[in-house]
Amino acid sequence: MPLIQVHATELSFSVLEETRAAYSSDRISWEIAKLETYHPITSFEMVVCCEVLEHLEDPIRGLQALSDFGARWYLLSVPIEPLWRILNMMRGAYLKDFGNSPGHIQHWSKASFVRLVSSYFEVVEMKNPMPWTMLLCQPRS
């Protein structure tokens, strides 16, 4: 079985450096990149995009960019709304923002996230480990 190679991207240099220090490996490469304008120079078997789309001004552009990567598999996740906010408020977090986490500008229920993603990908499987919606997808034929 071949070893897995991972290419990780991040917007924040400090977060990238912190993560690189915690997960040092010659099988992981790192890059500062913005999803909406990222053009990988290599192809991927799987793209994992977790906890990203809810931060984008234009999540449709993000999904278009992902579909351009040409991967065989995509794993996408976002928080389930309004459950995410309710859980935050129950733990006393972000009360002045009604439980909305910093930077979350998009909000989806399970059904609305599946509808959005289905415009660009075939949803193969959905899982809901609380409080997230996770979709395993393939490119549309």
Whether residue 15 lies inside any domain: the answer is no
Range of weakest confidence among 9-13, 53-57, 100-104: 9-13
Peptide linkage before 131 cis (omega within 30 of 0): yes
- In the predicted model, is pLDDT for residue 129 greater than 90? yes
Can you say whether the dihedral through the CA atoms of 129, 131, 137, 140 is positive or negative? positive
Residues 9 and 19 sit within 8 Å (Cβ to Cβ): no
pLDDT at 1 over 70: no
pLDDT at res. 48: 97
Q: In total, how many domains does the chain have?
A: 1
Q: What is the pLDDT of residue 63?
A: 97
**What string of DSSP letters covers 32-48?**
E--GGG---SS--SEEE
Q: Say if 120 falls within a structural domain.
A: yes
Question: What local confidence, expressed as pLDDT, does residue 41 receive?
Answer: 85
Beta carbons of 124 and 138 less than 8 angstroms apart:
yes
Helix (H) or strand (E) segment spanning residue 134 = strand 132-139
Q: What is the pLDDT of residues 37-95, one digit of tens each?
A: 998 888 899 999 999 999 999 999 999 999 999 999 999 999 999 999 999 999 999 99
Angle at 139 between CA 134 and CA 141, to 5 degrees: 140
Task: Tell whether 121 is covered by a domain.
Answer: yes
pLDDT surpassing 90 at residue 137: yes
Please tell me the predicted confidence (pLDDT) of residue 24: 86
Answer yes or no: is 9 within a domain: no
Q: Between the CA of residue 70 and those of 9, 65, 78, 138, what are the distances in Å?
A: 17, 10, 21, 10
Contacts (Cβ under 8 Å, ≥6 apart) of 53 = 59, 62, 63, 76, 78, 106
Q: Which pTM does this prediction carry?
A: 0.91
CATH code of the domain in which 44 resides: 3.40.50.150
Residue 12 placed within a domain: no
- Least reliable range by pLDDT among 17-26, 68-77, 112-121: 17-26
Is 29 contained in some domain?
Answer: no
Report the share of the chain in percent with pLDDT over 90.
Answer: 88
Lookup result for tokens 């909305």: 100
Sheet holding 121-127, edge to edge: 46-50, 73-79, 132-139, 121-127
- Per the domain annotation, does 53 fall within a domain? yes
| Residue 40 domain boundaries | 34-139
Q: Within a domain: residue 85? A: yes
